[in-house]
Structures are given as C-alpha cells and as structure tokens.
C-alpha cells in the first residue's frame, strides 16, 4: 500500500490535451483512500470455509488494533457499551444515571432507525443529568479526535428475541455501539445472498431487545472474492421495494436497492474487491473512523449516504490544497491554490462538493466558502440539501442584497449562490471587505459559458482565494470553443491541475452509473439509383425539418414509447407504484421543437386513448444558430423576452396545455417562467410527466432517476453529447438496466469520439451495450437449456434441480429485460408468451415453496439462489387485464373454457394476483348471461371486502369503530401501519389467567390478518 505523501506529486495519467493530472495529499498524515493498493501476490490454494474466512478477517482486525470482544447476551453488550462510553468520556456512571441515559437516550422506546442515525451523525453529544443535579456532555462518538474512539469486533452474536433466533457474523462496535455489520458467505456463493441475509436480519431481529443493532450505519457484504459496502438507507429501501409498499413501523425509511452497494478502491480507482485487501484498507482504524465521522451525509430526506472512495479522494485533495496554502500563502490567488475534479456526469459530484464545502468551512483560517451553481441548477433539491447544514445559506432571491449581507456577515461561513448573482455582486461592489478575506470558491459544472467573465472579475478583485471546479466533461484543447479569452478556453487554464479523475468508464465498471443502449433510426433515404447506401444523418435543414420526416419521427416515438420506457414494468417510487420510466426529446432548434410539439398533439388526438403527458420548454439562447458550435449545448436562461413573438406565443400556448393537465397557472412572464421550469423538473422526477421536448434546457445538470430514454433529433458532439446522454443513465432499480438513446441522426462517429475523449480508447465496449445479436444468442442458448432440462408439464424433482431452474430462469429474465428495449426482439423471441407465463408460474411456485421451508425450518435456505422479484413484477399484468378476459368469456356466452385457463394461468404467473385468485374465480362462477362485468365486479368487491372485514372483527373480538378507521387509513396510506397504538387500542382485553405471551400473540395474529386482507384487496 502506498500512502499519499505530504507534497504535490505527478500521477501516471495523461490528459487528452497532453498535460498531466496531479495527485494531491489528504489533510493530515494518513489519507482515507490509499493512493495505490498493491495486493499480496501469493495466493492460498486450499478450500476456504465460511468459518475460515471469518477467522481470517478477525485476525486482520486484531492486528490493526481492534479488541476482540466476547459477549453472548444483550446484557453483556449493554454492560460493554457502558464501559466504553465511560472510557471515551472519562466519566463513571452511577447505576441510576446509566439507567436513565440508556433508556431515555440510547434505547428510547420511541426511537427508530432514523432517530438513531441522527444520534450518530448529528446529535452525537448528549447531556447526562447527574444524580447531584449537575450535567455533563456525553459523546457517543468523538468526531474531533477520531482516534479517541475505541474499536471492538464481535462475532457470532446470537439474538434470541426476534421473530426467529438469529446469529450475526461479524459486528464492529465503536465505543460499544454496533455501527458496522459484516455478513460473510463462503467463496463461490453469490455476494447478493449476503445482502439478502442482512435484509432478513432487519425483518427478524435488528429491532429486538433494546434495538442496539438499529444503530448500524454501514453494512459490509463479502464472499471473500468480492466485498462491497452500503448504508443503512440502502438496506431499508430494498426491503420495502420487495414488499411492494412503503416502509412501516419503527424502521420507516426510504432509499435504494442492491444496485447502490459500492466497491472500495484506491486513489487510482482500482477496485479492492478481495476481503483481505478490503479489511486492510477500508477497515483500517483511521479509514473507518474517518468514513463514520467525516464522510457520511444525513440528508434532508433522512437518508444516510456513505461517500464512495473517489468522492472521498477528491474531497481530501481539495482540502489538502487549502491546507498547503495556509503554510505557503504565496499560492493563494494562483492556479496552484485551486484545481478541478473530473468526475463523470451522474457519479455524485453534488454530494462531493457538498461535503467539501462543509469540511472546508471548518478549516482554520477559512473565512467563507462559496458554492456557485447555475441558476437552473439552484432548484428545490439543492436548496433543501444545503439548508440541511447551514440554515439561511442559500441566496435564492432575485436580488444581490441578501448575498451582500451574507458576504459581510462573519456568521455566514457557507454561502450557496448562482453565477448570475455573484457576477452582479462583483459589478455592483468593486470594493468590498470580502475581497481581502480567505475565500474558497467551488464551481459546480465549471464549464458554464458565463464562467469566463466571472473568472476575470474574481481574479481582478480578490487576492486570497482558492478556485475549485467540478465537471463531468472537462474542456480540453481538442473540444474547446473558439471564442472568448484564449487563456480561459480549457478547464485547466481556468482552474489549474486536475486533482482527481473518475471517468465514465470507471463509473460504469463500478456500477455507479448505467451503460448506454444507443439505437439509430433511419429517417431520410435517397432515391434508388443515386447511391446504394443507407443515409442516417442528413445535414440539409430542409430535409430534416420536412413535415413528412417530423411526422415519421413522431409516429416512431409514439409506436415505441411504451417499449423504450418499459411501461410494462412497475416499481415503487416515493410510496406509490408507477409503471415504467419517462423521457426527453431533444430538438435541434426552437423551430423544430415547435414542429414536434404540434405533431405530437395532432397524432395523439388522431390515435385517441389515453395520451402521453408531454410538455415543451425552451428559452432564448444567444448562440443557438452558430454553426461553428453545433453539437455543444448552449446555456438557456429563464429570459423569454429574447424570443421572437411567434416562438413566445407558441410556448405560451404549450404552457396553457400544461396548466390544463396539472391545474397550474404558469405563463411566459419572467416571474412565472422560472416557476414553470421548476414545476416541470419536479414532475419529471416524480414521473408525473411522460416526456419533455427541449432544445438545450435539461440536457445539462438536470437529474431525474426516472428518465431512461433520450430521443435525439439534434447534432451533438464531445462534452455536449456526453452531458445529454447522461440524463438517462442514473441508477434507480434493477429494472432500469441502461440509458436508452434513440438517435434520428447519425451520431456514430461523434459517440466514438466523445467516449475516447472522456473515457479511454477502449471505452466503447464498456459504456455502450453489446450488440443485439450477442444478447439474443445468449438468450436463445439459455432458452434451449431451459426447454431441454425443464420441459413444461414435467415436475422438477430434487433440491439441486430446483436451484438450477431458479438460477437459469432468473438469468433468462435478466436477458429479457435488456432485449425488450430492442425493436426486433418481439418478432424473434423463441419463447411464446404462454410458455413464459407457465415458466414464471413454476418460478414463483418454487420460490414460495422454498420460502415456506425456510419458515418451517428456521434455516436460511436461499443462500445460493437470487430471486429476481423486480424482473418478475415487470412482466406481470394487473386486474384490469384480468377483467378484460372475464368480459371476453362473458361475451362468448361463457362457453370458451380456454379463456378460463388463460385467466388461471395469468393469475398464477403474477405474484400480486395470486392472493386474489379465489376472489376472481368466485366472481367468474357467479356471472350470469345478462351481467355487466365492470359494474358487477365493483359491487362484488365491495361486498366481499365488507364480509371479510366483519369476519376478522368478529373472530378477533375487535372494537369495530377503531378497526374500521384503521383499515380505511391503511388503504389511504398504501400500507398497513403497525407503529404506534392503533393496533393495541382495538384489541380486546386479555384474561389475567392467560399465558404471559398471549397478548403479543394476539397482536401478531391480528396484524398478520390485516396484512393479508390489505394485500388481497389493494388495487381491486
């Protein structure tokens, strides 16, 4: 392992313009991320059991200064916690003091995971009320002197108090609190099984007893060969996605699934996957304590984010530049005091800059930290995040008055503002005290077109400053514009050295962003006999804007919209189930955008049915028609006054359409247009809007995880192309496997050039999905194996054969998920839809059978099979489709029994409809020849819902009024809320002669019956 030296050092990475990037050191003697990790070259050859793997990890941790703790009961764990806190705080608790502190602060009965996370991340100093009437501050974790914290390791701790007895592999305790939980699987077992097992722990036992294991901040999963980490947030969202409803109970959180687990790496972005290397780096005392105390962010949405290694490395290299300038003031105000961070679009630059600003503001000698964004990017989310760590930090009004007040106030250490307001302030205040202060300026997306003027103004007025920039697409000599100052054309000229890089290849390799699937659609063909070749991109403006071509492109989008945006898929988004994703349509000019909007409106009206919700947005961009800059994305402001009257009137009409869709009242007036932009962005993020037609707006800096498709009828190149494409490749869940790019112009060469510039010469194979033919061949091979080994109609006998089937069909589902985005697949799928349904039924049957065995045996039997729940759900049908089949059966005089078979087969292939099968079967049997299917179904469901509710109330002797209100609230909120006293209040009294656990058993039984009732009738 190489530690970063306390000096500037050249790296081995050449930049595209022939320059060099630089490695810089972290603040302090030991950087959190090692500069370069060199693994041991000697390899063990003997078989390694899970126990051997665990013992090897324990030995490494002990050699790194961890104390091995022996504790077998919760009482021993609590006694150790008391001892560790006494040592950390140099205090001795009396029994009375400890009892009050433990039960009121650490193990409060009302505290959930969110509260416990806040205690570690924000409120780590708590007040102890002493017996003598005095008070004392008690630190749960020391964030100032991190090496004062005491690390212990505990293994195979048994928790008997949960739903099932549970044994945890390895727990790392910090000052006696279990802040890191490690789950191990033997080599050869899928790492995702360790992730699944931690999910079971959360469901069955983390909450048990005093709930100390709910303090876990970081989870580590490993099979020896591969090791990953993630935050407590990631775990809870995955569980709730699998349940298909929002979180309930004490563990109510939201976050992301297995796709958000992270690799650890060195400063060169080389992944450290093996458990041994991971333990020697990530679990080194100073690294783990730095991550827990400095590099976690508890967000405004109460999610815990643990920074990735490249984010930490970039942060520390910026802090180091600031630190060095403290000892060498001559660097201040020069490029040597600054630099830029090249982290690819979508890799989390905002989080990195957020933490950098926070830590820099706490450094000695730093007077102000200014985080500067473009006005379009200073949206609701940015304001909310920055308000989290500095109330009043965001200057979000339309004047520079507040900015001037903040710059003059010694209390305003962190200020978030826009390029526009900062420029206005400098023009209006040529002499101000802030120019003499030690100021750190951090520019988000530092290639904004206004930056050149800003840079000149800053360097003219200020002397003691650091200038840092973040960008996903740096400007090098090869992709620089020709205008402006020749000394400020590249990112390096403006900011100085590249302090850290993390390219699109790195991000896709690590799974931090998705690859792209790029398709090219031929829209213009030459007449026969001119030249025998396909023509994709025709530069002639007349041909490209021809109404016939615009009509053909629009028709293609409407025909393929559901396919490209995966509208057959469903998933949970912000506590509601939605189908598929949404998209942007990039038009080449305002004129083309207007044409497309009108054509979409016309064709949708002609087609009838439920129309797509489409919005239009553009504003004046001064260089829109500059042919020398074609392919670059010019900044659009919120000014509509520069538009010609026709374009402004058209936009106004489109906004009126938007207002009718959503009940809003926006317009093109200057005070309304910015609010229209913000509302449109929010509706895209919430998937309320299906598509936005844009010219330049939203193609840079806008993030929405629900976007998966970009329709491109626009010339793009280099950083403009990468910025636009990257709107689609944010990770959301396992259904969204790539960013979908549909090009109506030939951008093949431009794509290759951009990937070579911003990735490396081999980038294309990593960044763009493999050709369709390769996926199809792999799919067909697996289908052949499926049909040969597991023919329909034959029982799958034996546990190993069942595991093999689950594994094989799971891989088929994953391949289908990718192939369904290709236009040709529907005609070339060798597996019929009926066979797919039958195999899916077998798949669900076997999974549920294995789950029932798990419940009966209290054993984890799912360690080597990953059930693709999300991928099963994306090809399921809903109750409306079933009713269509029922109506078809009815209209055929109830004689076609094959329809009944289709209904049964469809229900059994759907995880969500299985619980409703007897309801549907009973309804079909009750049909009469004169029935109105839709009306009778509604009446039938109302009746059955009331009957089954009354049965539960009667059999459990519940209080009717309270039970009725409870179940009404459950369907309103979308889940069964078992938190609080609502369940308890409706239960009948228990005889004093009943067994001691009778009340808990009754409560559990009632909760389970209501959950089954809810699952049965939800969506009906």
Partners of 587 in the β-ladder = 713
Q: Considering only residues 877 and 356, tell me which one the structure prediction assigns the higher pLDDT.
A: 356
DSSP state for residue 136 in the 8-state scheme: E
Which pLDDT score is estimated for 394? 57
CB neighbour list of residue 128: distance below 8 Å, 6 or more residues apart: 91, 93, 97, 101, 135, 136, 137, 138
Worst-scoring range by mean pLDDT, 318-332, 612-626, 713-727, 955-969?
A: 612-626
Mean pLDDT of 924-929: 67
Rounded Cα gap, residues 49 and 55, in angstroms: 10
Residues 618, 624, 627, CA angle at the centre, nearest 5°?
Answer: 150
Q: How far is CA 377 from the centre of its chain?
A: 19
User: Pairing state of beta strands 739-743 and 707-713?
Assistant: parallel
What domains are defined for the chain?
Answer: 50-73+149-306 (3.90.1570.50), 309-502 (3.40.50.300), 517-525+540-757 (3.40.50.300), 772-875 (1.20.58), 932-1019 (no CATH)
Which pLDDT score is estimated for 239? 45
Mean pLDDT of 138-161: 92
Question: How many percent of the chain have pLDDT more than 70?
Answer: 76
Mean pLDDT of 817-823: 77
Which pLDDT score is estimated for 176? 96
- Hey, CA dihedral for 993, 995, 998, 999, is it positive or negative? positive
- Which whole-number Å values give the CA distances from 715 to 216, 585, 744, 789, in the listed order? 49, 13, 10, 50
Q: Do 384 and 300 contact (CB within 8 A), yes or no?
A: yes
What's the burial of 991, exposed, middle or buried (CB within 10 Å: 0-12/13-18/19+)?
exposed
Mean pLDDT for all residues in the chain: 79
What's the burial of 529, exposed, middle or buried (CB within 10 Å: 0-12/13-18/19+)?
exposed
> Which of 692, 33, 614, 659 has the alpha carbon at shortest distance from 312?
33
Q: Do 178 and 152 contact (CB within 8 A), yes or no?
A: no
DSSP state for residue 4 in the 8-state scheme: P
Per-residue pLDDT at 858 exceeds 50:
no
pLDDT tens digit string along 67-111?
Answer: 999 998 999 999 999 999 999 999 999 999 999 999 999 999 888
pLDDT tens digit string along 734-785?
Answer: 788 889 999 998 888 888 888 878 876 444 445 566 778 888 999 999 999 9
Rounded Cα gap, residues 250 and 243, in angstroms: 16
Per-residue pLDDT at 558 exceeds 90:
yes
Continuous segment of H or E residues that includes residue 570: strand 570-573
* Maximum average pLDDT range among 21-25, 76-80, 155-159, 522-526: 76-80
- Which whole-number Å values give the CA distances from 701 to 344, 483, 736, 768, in the listed order? 12, 23, 20, 21
Which pLDDT score is estimated for 663? 94
Which pLDDT score is estimated for 473? 84
Length of the chain (residues): 1020
Q: Do 210 and 171 contact (CB within 8 A), yes or no?
A: no
CB neighbour list of residue 989: distance below 8 Å, 6 or more residues apart: none
Continuous segment of H or E residues that includes residue 223: none
Q: Do 148 and 175 contact (CB within 8 A), yes or no?
A: no
Mean pLDDT of 490-510: 86
User: Pairing state of beta strands 339-343 and 465-471?
Assistant: parallel
Q: Kindly give the interhelix angle for 799-819 and 833-857, rounded to the nearest 10 degrees.
A: 130
Mean pLDDT of 153-175: 86
- Which whole-number Å values give the CA distances from 673 to 587, 648, 669, in the listed order? 20, 11, 6
Give the 3-state DSSP-derived string for 473-532, with helices as H, strands as E and coil as C.
CCCCHHHCCCCCCCCCCCHHHHHCCEEEEECHHHHHHHCCCCCEEEEECCCCCCCCCCCC
Per-residue pLDDT at 385 exceeds 70:
no
Per-residue pLDDT at 27 exceeds 50:
no
Q: Which pair of tokens denotes residue 44? A: 């063990």
- SS3 label, residue 934: helix
* Maximum average pLDDT range among 238-247, 562-571, 587-596: 587-596
- SS3 label, residue 304: strand
Mean pLDDT of 38-59: 81
pLDDT band at residue 252 under the 50/70/90 scheme: very low
Which pLDDT score is estimated for 994? 67
Which pLDDT score is estimated for 327? 81
Per-residue pLDDT at 59 exceeds 70:
yes
Q: Do 219 and 238 contact (CB within 8 A), yes or no?
A: no
Partners of 739 in the β-ladder = 516
Rounded Cα gap, residues 444 and 458, in angstroms: 16
Rounded Cα gap, residues 861 and 196, in angstroms: 11
> Which of 206, 203, 269 has the alpha carbon at shortest distance from 238?
203
What's the burial of 65, exposed, middle or buried (CB within 10 Å: 0-12/13-18/19+)?
exposed
Rounded Cα gap, residues 687 and 693, in angstroms: 15
Burial 716-752 (b: 16+ CB within 10 A, else e): bbbbbbbbbbbbbbbbbbbbbbbbbbbbbbbbeebbe
- Which whole-number Å values give the CA distances from 372 to 49, 320, 418, 419, 847, in the listed order? 53, 21, 5, 6, 52
- Hey, CA dihedral for 449, 755, 630, 592, is it positive or negative? negative
Per-residue pLDDT at 487 exceeds 90:
no
Mean pLDDT of 949-970: 88
pLDDT band at residue 679 under the 50/70/90 scheme: very high
Rounded Cα gap, residues 84 and 66, in angstroms: 13
Q: Considering only residues 587 and 48, tell me which one the structure prediction assigns the higher pLDDT.
A: 587
Rounded Cα gap, residues 480 and 400, in angstroms: 31
Mean pLDDT of 559-571: 86
Per-residue pLDDT at 900 exceeds 50:
yes
Mean pLDDT of 315-328: 90
What's the burial of 542, exposed, middle or buried (CB within 10 Å: 0-12/13-18/19+)?
exposed
Rounded Cα gap, residues 190 and 835, in angstroms: 28
Partners of 959 in the β-ladder = none
Rounded Cα gap, residues 127 and 732, in angstroms: 40
* Maximum average pLDDT range among 463-472, 819-828, 932-941: 463-472
> Which of 827, 817, 630 has the alpha carbon at shortest distance from 740?
817
Mean pLDDT of 123-143: 94
Alpha-helical regions (H) of 186-274: 192-204, 232-243
Worst-scoring range by mean pLDDT, 21-25, 30-34, 183-187, 585-589?
A: 21-25
Which pLDDT score is estimated for 862? 36
Rounded Cα gap, residues 253 and 744, in angstroms: 42
DSSP state for residue 930 in the 8-state scheme: T
- SS3 label, residue 153: strand
Q: Which pair of tokens denotes residue 59? A: 């030995």
Which pLDDT score is estimated for 250? 34
């Amino acid at each position: 392992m190489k530690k970063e030296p306390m000096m500037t050092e050249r790296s081995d990475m050449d930049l595209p313009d022939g320059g060099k990037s630089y490695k810089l050191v972290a603040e302090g003697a030991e950087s959190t991320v090692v500069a370069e990790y060199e693994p041991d070259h000697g390899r063990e050859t003997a078989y390694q059991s899970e126990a051997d793997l665990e013992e090897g990890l324990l030995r490494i941790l002990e050699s790194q200064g961890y104390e091995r703790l022996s504790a077998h009961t919760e009482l021993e764990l609590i006694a150790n916690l008391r001892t560790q806190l006494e040592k950390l705080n140099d205090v001795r608790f009396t029994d009375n003091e400890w009892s009050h502190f433990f039960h009121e602060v650490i193990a409060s009965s009302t505290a959930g995971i969110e509260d416990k996370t806040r205690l570690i991340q924000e409120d780590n100093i708590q007040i102890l009320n002493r017996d003598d009437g005095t008070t004392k501050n008690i630190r749960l974790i020391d964030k100032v002197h991190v090496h004062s914290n005491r690390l212990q390791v505990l293994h195979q701790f048994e928790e008997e108090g949960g739903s099932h007895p549970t044994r945890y592999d390895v727990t790392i305790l910090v000052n006696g609190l279990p802040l890191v939980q490690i789950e191990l699987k033997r080599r050869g077992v899928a790492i995702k099984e360790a992730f699944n097992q931690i999910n079971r722990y959360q469901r069955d036992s983390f909450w048990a007893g005093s709930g100390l294991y709910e303090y876990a901040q970081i989870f580590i999963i490993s099979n020896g060969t591969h090791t990953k980490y993630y935050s407590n947030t990631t775990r809870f969202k995955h569980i709730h996605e699998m349940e298909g409803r929002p979180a309930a109970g004490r563990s109510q959180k939201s976050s992301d699934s297995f796709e958000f687990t992270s690799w650890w790496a060195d400063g060169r972005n080389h992944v450290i996957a093996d458990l041994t290397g991971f333990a020697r780096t990530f679990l080194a005392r100073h690294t783990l304590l730095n991550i827990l105390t400095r590099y976690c962010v508890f967000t405004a949405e109460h999610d815990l984010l643990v920074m990735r290694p490249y984010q930490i490395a970039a942060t520390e290299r910026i802090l180091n530049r600031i630190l060095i300038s403290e000892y060498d003031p001559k660097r201040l105000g020069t490029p040597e005091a600054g630099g830029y961070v090249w982290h690819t679009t979508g890799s989390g630059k905002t989080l990195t800059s957020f933490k950098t600003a926070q830590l820099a503001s706490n450094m000695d000698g730093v007077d102000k930290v200014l985080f500067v964004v473009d006005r379009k990017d200073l949206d609701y989310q940015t304001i909310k995040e920055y308000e989290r760590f500095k109330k009043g930090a965001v200057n979000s009004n339309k004047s520079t008055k507040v900015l001037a007040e903040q710059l003059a106030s010694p209390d305003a250490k962190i200020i978030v503002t826009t390029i526009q307001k900062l420029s206005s302030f400098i023009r209006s205040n040529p002499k101000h005290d802030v120019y003499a202060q030690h100021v750190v300026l951090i520019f988000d997306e530092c290639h904004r077109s206004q930056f050149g003027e800003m840079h000149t103004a800053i360097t003219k007025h200020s002397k003691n400053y650091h200038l840092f920039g973040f960008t996903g697409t740096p400007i090098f000599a090869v992709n620089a514009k020709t205008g402006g100052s020749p000394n400020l054309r590249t990112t390096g000229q403006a900011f100085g050295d590249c302090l850290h890089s993390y390219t699109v290849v790195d991000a896709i390799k690590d799974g931090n962003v998705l690859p792209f699937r790029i398709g090219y659609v031929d829209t213009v063909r030459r007449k026969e006999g001119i030249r025998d070749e396909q023509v994709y991109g025709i530069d002639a403006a007349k041909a490209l804007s021809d109404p016939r071509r615009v009509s053909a492109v629009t028709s293609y989008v409407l025909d393929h919209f559901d396919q490209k945006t995966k509208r057959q898929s469903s998933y949970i988004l912000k506590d509601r189930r939605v189908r598929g994703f949404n998209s942007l349509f990039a038009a080449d000019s305002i004129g083309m955008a207007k044409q497309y909007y009108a054509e979409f409106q016309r064709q949708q009206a002609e087609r009838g049915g439920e129309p797509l919700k489409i919005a239009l947005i553009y504003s004046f961009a001064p260089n829109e028609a500059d042919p020398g800059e074609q392919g670059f994305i010019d900044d659009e402001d919120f000014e509509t006054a520069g538009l010609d009257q026709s374009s402004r009137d058209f936009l106004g009409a489109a906004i009126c359409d938007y207002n009718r869709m959503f009940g809003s009242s926006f317009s093109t007036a200057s005070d309304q247009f910015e609010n229209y932009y913000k509302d449109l962005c929010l509706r895209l993020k919430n998937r309320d809007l299906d598509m936005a037609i844009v010219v330049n707006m939203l193609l840079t800096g806008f993030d929405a995880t629900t976007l998966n498709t970009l329709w491109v009828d626009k010339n793009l190149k280099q950083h403009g192309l990468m910025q636009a494409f990257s709107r689609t490749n944010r990770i959301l869940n396992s259904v969204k496997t790539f960013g979908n790019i549909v090009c109506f112009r030939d951008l093949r060469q431009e794509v290759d050039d951009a990937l070579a510039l911003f990735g490396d010469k081999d980038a294309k194979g990593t960044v763009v999905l493999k050709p369709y033919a390769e996926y199809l061949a792999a799919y067909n091979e697996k289908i052949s194996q499926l049909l040969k080994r597991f023919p329909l109609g034959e029982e799958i006998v034996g546990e190993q054969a069942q595991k093999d089937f689950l594994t094989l069909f799971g891989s088929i589902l994953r391949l289908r998920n990718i192939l369904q985005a290709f236009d040709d697949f529907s005609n070339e799928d060798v597996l019929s839809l009926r066979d797919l349904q039958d195999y899916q039924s077998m798949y669900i049957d076997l999974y549920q059978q294995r789950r029932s065995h798990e419940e009966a045996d209290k054993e984890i039997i799912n360690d080597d099979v990953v059930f693709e729940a999300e991928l099963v759900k994306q090809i399921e049908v809903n109750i409306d489709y079933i009713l269509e089949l029922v109506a078809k059966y009815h209209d055929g005089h109830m004689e076609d029994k094959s329809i009944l078979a289709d209904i049964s087969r469809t229900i059994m292939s759907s995880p969500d409809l299985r619980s409703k099968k007897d309801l549907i079967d009973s309804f079909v049997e009750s049909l009469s020849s004169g029935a109105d299917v839709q009306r009778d179904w509604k009446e039938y469901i109302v009746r059955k819902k009331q009957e089954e509710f009354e049965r539960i109330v009667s059999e459990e002797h519940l209080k009717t009024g309270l039970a009725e209100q409870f179940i009404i609230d459950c369907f309103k909120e979308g889940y069964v809320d078992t938190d609080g006293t609502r369940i308890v209040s409706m239960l009948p009294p228990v005889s004093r002669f009943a067994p001691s656990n009778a009340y808990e058993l009754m409560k559990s039984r009632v909760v389970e019956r209501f959950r089954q009732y809810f699952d049965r009738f939800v969506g009906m």
